[in-house]
Structure formats: structure tokens, C-alpha cells
């Protein structure tokens, strides 16, 4: 159904005490503000809306049974009790024609009992129903939409008992956005029904500046999310600078959740949930609730994480520090505590730390650090630290602490290098234990485990009698490959220690690759295996363009009217990593935006070797001829083909045509 032209996007673990401490009371609720009271459509979203939406998983494959089943599960699973309220039907619910009176009508096959009956069903379960239209002549999927029909459509929705409208931007005929969104805002107000108004114009016309005035309770700030880490990170980056525009009844919306969807690992999904909560983003689950693994339900309903999202301490969360792959995000909470997300975007486990000073906490001798995911609590001297795995985040709430019962904050961090080892080679692992508490820990024992096929030798004594507060200790190991399995190698570092009379322990995972270098000769990269690959939308395609969303659905690689038989098709932002192994001489490609975007999209192609940029295409726009890009690879072990989205992912179908490598 989706065509490229309408594609708008188209822990490692902290120290775990063996004894669990008690849980503190929930955090403060959102405080009403003056601004909330005078919202044109009413005080309907004093906290970010929570619920579910059909689009991310089901696209157009929806029907009334799915909506009913989903409503049932929201109740039965405990999601309703956790705060999930709206059951939102996205695009494709409507029949291809309006009725004789000019009203939208539901698709007779998929919604035979009509929307009003569905609203009753949902309301009977203590939930609310959301619906979708576009501020255009047709929806993004080519069905009738509301431009020029605002009054009758708003009234129809109100008559059906609809509680929430997501109003999209496709087929808008070039009518100015403010005019289009104002018309629907006015029409919704005129119905007299309480309807949350969700503006979905992809951040194209800075809706944070006018969304509230036209009646919006939330506004999308970006193009569409997809279930990829690249997408989640790209949307996150686009939130920077918008913090001041968010607040009760007017929320920045970085798009719906992909929690539990298959393109994200559990750790990635948890990082996504942590960040969206910190950003006061609407929490609209986008997974199939009928087939949800327990871990996804836990991520969606964690009471502390949801409490951070629903708390209005006067500011949306924001990025405090950016150290490249590691970032620190914080949000002041209404009770004076501070929520913190430590984010690791890199490929290797990393210990990330931030101080109470940086977090703007009041001076105090001790702080309480609460891991909102595990519910564990520690005493800190002011440093908040976590060993965070690749593509993962740790999330805490921190506040001054006057008690003495909580154990010291201790972090176990495992790191390993180099990132790629050839068969028969060695890697070095380090396990470090940081004591960020205010009292010593004693009897510290270190351990490291590796998979079969690896010899593990400690290079240091594996016990230390004591680590003073504010200090750390480390133990190193050599790992020697003795017929290990090719691919990622996971090692687990751990430590145990004592505080007072109790034993504690902690773990951290780190990984590297056992990889064979690319063989001698000339190869097309699309004929070789990469060791790692990320792409914003859909899988990376060999010898075809990125296409739509599924494997193998791309077209021939075509740039500026020329078709190429070989190459790689990705969607920016993207990184493909190869282990060259030091004996390759040159890599080359003809790069460009695929013609399937019909002249849209813009990206920058880069070749990186061992972490250094070797070549860049500069900005390449849709419709332009292919740009030759090449780099000398002498001595390069790790080759990365990166495509940057230039701040906007729309239509970035990027081709590495004729991508070739020569190795000796």
C-alpha cells in the first residue's frame, strides 16, 4: 500500500543487591498550569495522552474485531490501570466514498457495525476511542479525507462518540497548514464534544509555534517512526530545541511507540520507552497487544517510568550532555527530584556518569539513586553512573537523601577491545568496579566468562579487599581464540562485594566480533556479508533500492535516470559495517538518492575506516546524478558505509550503486 512518494519517513546492568530494598511512593502528579485552563478545545490532555494506535503494526490491515480485541487486552493486561486510555484507529478505516449526505462512512467489510458501536464497546471498558483523518483531500492511503469537509466530519466523529482525532497532512493541496488545522480545530470545538486534537503535520511548518492556538493538544514534530534503532535515534535528535514548546494540553509528539516491535532489541525498546517518557511524549503503544511478550508489557506499564512521563515539573526532558556515542538526558520532576537517562548509542558497552551538580540538584551529602526499571535504590555521593550496553539506556530518579539504610551505588563495567578479532587472535577484557557510595565496600571479587572456544586468563589478581568511596578497581583478562564461533562474542563481567553484613553482586556484558577478513580480490559489497548494519526504514537491500518496507521489495537501483545492476539500497540514516581486516586497498561506489523518490530526499554519504572519515559526498539530493565516492583502505580493519539524513529522514532512499572493494 505504501508508495515511496508518500513515505514521509517516509546494560549492562548496575550492581544488583542480593537483598531488595523497599519501593518508595509514586512520584508527584502533573501540576495544572494557567495555560492549561484556556486551551481552545479544553483541558483534555493535562498530561501526555496514553493509549494505542493501529498504524505501526497493522497499517491498513485493520478491522473492528482488532479494535475490540485490543480494547479488551488493554483492560485485561493491566494497561488501562497503568494509564493507557485511548484506542486509536489510524488510516484505512473509511469506505472509499462518502455517503449520500456527504458523511464519511466506515469500510463496510472491515467495520460492518460502524464506529458508533465500536465507541460504545470501547467506552463500556472505561476507555476512549480515537479516529484518523487528513487535512487534505485524501488520506495518506488515498481514502476520503477532511479538507473542505471539516464541519461535517467533526460532527460525524462527535455523533459517533469519538474522543480523539489524529489529523494527518497528506494531499493538502498546498493550502497553508495553519489554515487547514485551524479549520478542523474550530469544527471540533463547534461540536461541543470533548475531542483530543492530535496534529500530524510531521513538524513541517513548526506546529509547536501555533498548534495550541488552533486547538491542538499535541503535534507531531517529525516524520514517521519505524521499528529501527536508527529511526528512534533520529527522531530523538530532532526533539532538541523544542523543549520550551511542550506542556499541559500542548505536547511535542515524536511519534508513537515501537516498544515490543521486532526491529528493536529489548534493550533498544527499553531505551526508546525511557526516552519517550522523559520527553513527556504521548505514550501510544504501536505493537500487536494480542501477541505481546511479557517483557514488552512490562516496558509499557512500568509504573515509575510512566510516572516520569505523566509528571509535569515545568519542563520537558532535554539533552544535558552529548559525548558522541554517550548522552545524558534529564528532566526536573515536580517533587524536586531529577529523572536521568544515560544513553549509549555506540557499539561497545560504556560506563556513563553524571554528577548531582550537573543535574542541578541541591547540595547534599548523599543522594538516593533509584533505578526506575529495576526498582533498586542506592546511596550516592553525587555521582550517578551506569555501565550501559550498546544501544541501551539506564534510567534513574535522583534526589537528596538523609537516610543511611541504602547500600552504596556500585557499578560493574565490562569493556573489551579490539572490536574485531581474527581467528586465532586475542582480545583484552577489563572489569572495573566503581564505588560511588559514601562508605567503603569490602571483599570485592571479580570474574569474567566467555563463550566456548575462548581461553580466558586473568592478568591481575581477581580479588581486592576494599574499594573506598569515590574510587574504583579493575581486573584485566586476555581472551584467546581457540576455535570460537565466528560472529559476535559476548563476554560477561561480574563482581561481588560486601557492605555491612550483606553480600551484593553486579554484572556487565560486553561484546566484540570474531571475524574473517574479506578475501583477496575484487568484490561487489552486495555479494559480501557485513558484520553489522542499520537502516532507518526497511531492511538493507542487495542489488535493489530500499523500496518500501519488506525484504526484497525494492526496485532496480536507479540514480539520475541511470540504472545499476549491483549495489546496496538503504534508507538514511544508515551504517553498514564490514571487517576489511587491514589488507584491502580501495572501496568505491556511485552514490545517490534513488529515483523512486521522484526527486525528493537528501542525504550525505560517507566512507569511514577505523573510526575516521575517509570520504564524503557532501549533500546529495533526489533526482541528481550519481556522485563517485572512493577511499584508500590501506591498513583499515573496520570499514563503515554511512548515510546521514541531513536532519530530515523524508524520502531518503539512498543507493550505494556499484559498491566495490579490492583486497590483497
Among 57, 141, 387, 597, binds ligand GLA (CB under 6 A): 141
For the CB of residue 256, give the shortest distance to ligand GLA in the complex, in Å.
7
414 binding ligand GLA? (CB under 6 A)? no
Query: What percent of the residues of the chain are helix, what percent strand, and what percent coil, each to the nearest 5?
Result: 20, 35, 45
Q: Give the number of residues in contact with ligand GLA, rule: CB under 6 A.
A: 11
Closer residue to ligand GLA (CB): 92 or 395: 92
652 binding ligand GLA? (CB under 6 A)? no
- Residue 545 neighbours by CB distance under 10 Å: 30
- As a three-state string, the secondary structure of 147-189 is CCCHHHHHHHHHHHCCCEEEEECCCCCCCCHHHHHHHHHHHHH
For the CB of residue 169, give the shortest distance to ligand GLA in the complex, in Å.
7
Closer residue to ligand GLA (CB): 172 or 496: 172
For the CB of residue 286, give the shortest distance to ligand GLA in the complex, in Å.
9
Spell out where 163-267 has E strands: 164-168, 196-199, 218-220, 251-253
The candidate with the shortest Cα–Cα distance to 88, out of 253, 269, 299, is 253
168 is catalytic: yes
Closer residue to ligand GLA (CB): 2 or 331: 2
559 by Cβ neighbours in 10 Å (0-12 / 13-18 / 19+) ranks as buried
Closer residue to ligand GLA (CB): 140 or 267: 140
Among 94, 131, 140, 305, binds ligand GLA (CB under 6 A): 140
Contacts of 138 (CB under 8 A, 6+ apart): 144, 145, 170, 171
For the CB of residue 90, give the shortest distance to ligand GLA in the complex, in Å.
5
For the CB of residue 208, give the shortest distance to ligand GLA in the complex, in Å.
16
Closer residue to ligand GLA (CB): 173 or 516: 173
How many Å apart are CA 225 and CA 318, to the nearest integer?
20
For the CB of residue 171, give the shortest distance to ligand GLA in the complex, in Å.
11
For the CB of residue 56, give the shortest distance to ligand GLA in the complex, in Å.
8
200 binding ligand GLA? (CB under 6 A)? yes
Among 8, 87, 275, 510, binds ligand GLA (CB under 6 A): 8
Grid coordinates given for 260:
515490543
504 binding ligand GLA? (CB under 6 A)? no
Closer residue to ligand GLA (CB): 91 or 436: 91
Choosing from 224, 413, 481, 655, the catalytic residue is 224
254: DSSP letter: -
- Of 138-146, 557-565, 637-645, 647-655, the window that binds ligand GLA (rule: CB under 6 A) is 138-146
For the CB of residue 255, give the shortest distance to ligand GLA in the complex, in Å.
7
How many Å apart are CA 457 and CA 501, to the nearest integer?
31
φ, ψ at 523 (rounded to 5°):
-135, 150
Closer residue to ligand GLA (CB): 225 or 607: 225
Closer residue to ligand GLA (CB): 3 or 562: 3
253 binding ligand GLA? (CB under 6 A)? no
Residues 522-561 that bind ligand GLA (CB under 6 A): none
Segment (H or E) for 70: helix 64-76
Contacts of 425 (CB under 8 A, 6+ apart): 480, 481
Residues 454-473 that bind ligand GLA (CB under 6 A): none
Longest pairwise C-alpha distance within the chain = 84
Spell out where 532-599 has E strands: 532-535, 541-542, 557-559, 562-564, 567-571, 574-579, 584-593
Residues 81-100 that bind ligand GLA (CB under 6 A): 90-91
Paired with 99 in beta bridges are none
- 286 and 262 Cβ atoms separated by less than 8 Å: no
Three-state DSSP class for residue 104: coil
For the CB of residue 55, give the shortest distance to ligand GLA in the complex, in Å.
5
- 106 and 95 Cβ atoms separated by less than 8 Å: yes
Closer residue to ligand GLA (CB): 55 or 420: 55
- 306 and 84 Cβ atoms separated by less than 8 Å: no
The candidate with the shortest Cα–Cα distance to 648, out of 243, 322, 202, 319, is 202
For the CB of residue 53, give the shortest distance to ligand GLA in the complex, in Å.
8
Q: For 620-650, b where at least 16 C-beta lie within 10 A, e where not — what string?
A: bebeeebbebebebeebbbbbbbbbbbebbb
Choosing from 90, 163, 168, 655, the catalytic residue is 168
Nearest residue to ligand GLA, scored by beta-carbon proximity:
140
Segments in 279-387 forming alpha helices (H): 294-301, 303-310
224 is catalytic: yes
- Of 19-27, 133-141, 624-632, 638-646, the window that binds ligand GLA (rule: CB under 6 A) is 133-141
Measured over the CA atoms of residue 557, residue 559, residue 563 and residue 565, the dihedral's sign is negative
Radius of gyration (Cα) for the chain, nearest Å? 26
224 binding ligand GLA? (CB under 6 A)? yes
| Sheet with 326-332: strands ordered across | 318-323, 326-332, 338-344, 392-400, 367-371, 377-380
How many Å apart are CA 558 and CA 625, to the nearest integer?
10
- 366 and 401 Cβ atoms separated by less than 8 Å: yes
Q: What's the distance, Cα to Cα, between the start and end of the chain in Å?
A: 46
Closer residue to ligand GLA (CB): 141 or 281: 141
Closer residue to ligand GLA (CB): 224 or 481: 224
Residues 147-186 that bind ligand GLA (CB under 6 A): 168
For the CB of residue 203, give the shortest distance to ligand GLA in the complex, in Å.
10
Residues 22-61 that bind ligand GLA (CB under 6 A): 55
Binding residues vs ligand GLA (CB under 6 A): 8, 55, 90-91, 139-141, 168, 200, 202, 224
Which residues are annotated as catalytic? Answer: 168, 224
Amino acid at each position: 500500500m505504501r508508495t515511496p512518494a508518500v513515505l514521509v519517513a517516509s546494560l549492562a546492568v548496575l550492581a544488583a543487591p542480593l537483598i531488595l530494598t523497599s519501593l518508595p511512593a509514586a512520584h508527584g502528579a502533573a501540576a495544572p498550569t494557567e495555560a492549561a485552563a484556556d486551551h481552545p478545545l479544553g483541558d483534555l490532555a493535562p498530561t501526555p495522552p496514553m493509549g494505542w494506535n493501529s498504524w505501526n503494526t497493522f497499517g491498513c490491515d485493520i478491522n473492528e474485531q482488532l479494535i475490540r480485541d485490543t480494547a479488551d487486552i488493554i483492560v485485561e493486561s493491566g494497561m488501562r490501570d497503568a494509564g493507557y486510555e485511548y484506542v486509536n484507529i489510524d488510516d484505512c478505516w473509511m469506505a472509499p466514498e462518502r455517503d449520500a449526505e456527504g458523511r464519511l462512512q466506515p469500510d463496510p467489510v472491515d467495520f460492518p457495525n460502524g464506529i458508533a458501536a465500536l465507541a460504545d464497546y470501547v467506552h463500556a471498558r472505561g476507555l476512549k476511542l480515537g479516529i484518523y483523518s487528513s487535512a487534505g483531500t485524501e488520506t495518506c492511503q488515498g481514502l476520503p479525507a477532511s479538507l473542505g469537509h471539516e464541519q461535517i466530519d467533526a460532527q460525524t466523529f462527535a455523533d459517533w462518540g469519538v474522543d480523539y482525532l489524529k489529523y494527518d497532512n497528506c494531499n493538502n493541496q498546498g493550502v497553508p497548514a495553519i489554515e487547514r488545522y485551524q479549520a478542523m480545530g474550530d469544527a471540533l470545538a463547534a461540536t461541543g464534544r470533548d475531542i483530543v486534537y492530535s496534529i500530524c503535520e510531521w513538524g513541517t511548518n513548526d506546529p509547536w509555534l501555533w498548534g495550541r492556538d488552533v486547538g491542538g493538544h499535541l503535534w507531531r514534530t517529525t516524520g514517521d517512526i519505524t521499528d529501527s534503532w536508527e529511526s528512534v535515534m533520529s527522531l530523538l535528535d530532532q526533539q532538541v530545541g523544542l523543549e520550551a514548546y511542550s506542556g499541559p494540553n500542548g505536547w511535542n509528539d515524536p511519534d508513537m511507540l515501537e516498544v515490543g516491535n521486532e526491529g528493536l532489541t529489548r534493550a533498544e525498546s527499553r531505551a526508546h520507552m525511557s526516552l519517550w517518557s522523559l520527553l513527556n511524549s504521548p505514550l501510544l503503544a504501536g505493537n500487536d497487544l494480542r501477541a505481546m511478550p511479557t517483557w514488552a508489557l512490562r516496558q509499557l506499564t512500568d509504573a515509575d517510568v510512566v510516572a516520569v512521563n505523566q509528571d509535569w515539573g515545568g519542563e520537558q526532558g532535554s539533552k544535558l550532555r552529548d559525548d558522541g556515542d554517550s548522552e545524558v538526558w534529564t528532566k526536573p520532576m515536580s517533587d524536586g527530584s531529577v529523572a536521568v537517562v544515560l544513553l549509549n548509542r555506540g557499539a561497545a558497552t560504556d560506563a556513563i556518569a553524571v554528577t548531582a551538580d550537573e543535574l542541578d540538584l541541591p547540595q547534599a551529602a548523599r543522594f538516593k539513586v533509584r533505578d526506575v526499571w529495576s526498582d533498586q535504590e542506592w546511596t550516592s555521593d553525587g555521582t550517578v553512573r551506569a555501565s550501559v550496553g550498546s544501544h541501551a539506556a539506564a534510567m534513574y530518579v535522583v534526589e537528596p537523601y538523609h537516610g543511611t539504610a541504602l547500600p552504596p551505588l556500585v557499578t560493574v563495567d565490562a569493556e573489551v577491545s579490539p572490536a574485531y578479532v581474527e581467528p586465532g587472535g586475542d582480545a583484552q577484557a577489563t572489569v572495573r568496579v566503581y564505588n560511588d557510595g559514601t562508605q567503603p565496600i569490602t571483599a570485592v571479587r571479580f570474574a569474567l566468562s566467555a563463550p566456548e572456544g575462548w581461553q580466558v586468563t586473568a592478568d591481575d589478581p581477581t580479588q581486592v579487599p576494599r574499594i573506598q568511596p569515590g574510587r574504583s578497581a579493575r581486573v584485566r583478562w586476555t581472551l584467546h581464540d581457540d576455535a570460537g564461533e565466528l560472529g559476535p562474542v559476548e563476554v560477561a563481567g561480574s563482581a561481588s562485594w560486601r557492605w555491612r553484613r550483606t553480600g551484593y553482586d553486579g554484572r556487565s556484558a560486553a561484546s566484540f566480533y570474531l571475524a574473517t577478513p574479506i578475501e583477496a580480490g575484487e568484490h561487489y559489497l552486495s555479494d559480501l556479508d557485513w558484520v553489522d548494519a542499520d537502516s532507518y526504514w526497511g531492511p538493507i537491500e542487495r542489488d535493489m533500492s530500499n523500496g518500501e518496507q519488506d525484504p526484497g521489495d525494492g526496485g532496480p537501483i536507479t540514480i539520475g535516470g541511470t540504472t545499476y545492476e549491483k549495489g546496496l539500497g538503504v534508507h538514511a540514516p544508515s551504517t553498514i559495517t564490514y571487517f576489511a581486516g587491514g589488507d584491502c586497498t580501495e572501496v568505491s561506489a556511485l552514490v545517490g538518492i534513488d529515483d523512486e523518490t521522484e526527486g525528493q530526499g537528501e542525504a550525505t554519504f560517507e566512507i569511514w575506516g577505523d573510526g575516521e572519515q575517509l570520504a564524503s559526498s557532501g549533500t546529495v539530493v533526489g533526482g541528481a546524478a550519481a556522485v563517485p565516492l572512493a577511499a584508500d583502505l590501506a591498513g583499515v580493519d573496520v570499514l563503515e558505509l554511512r548515510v546521514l539524513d541531513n536532519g530530515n529522514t523524508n524520502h531518503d532512499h539512498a543507493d550505494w550503486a556499484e559498491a566495490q572493494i579490492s583486497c590483497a
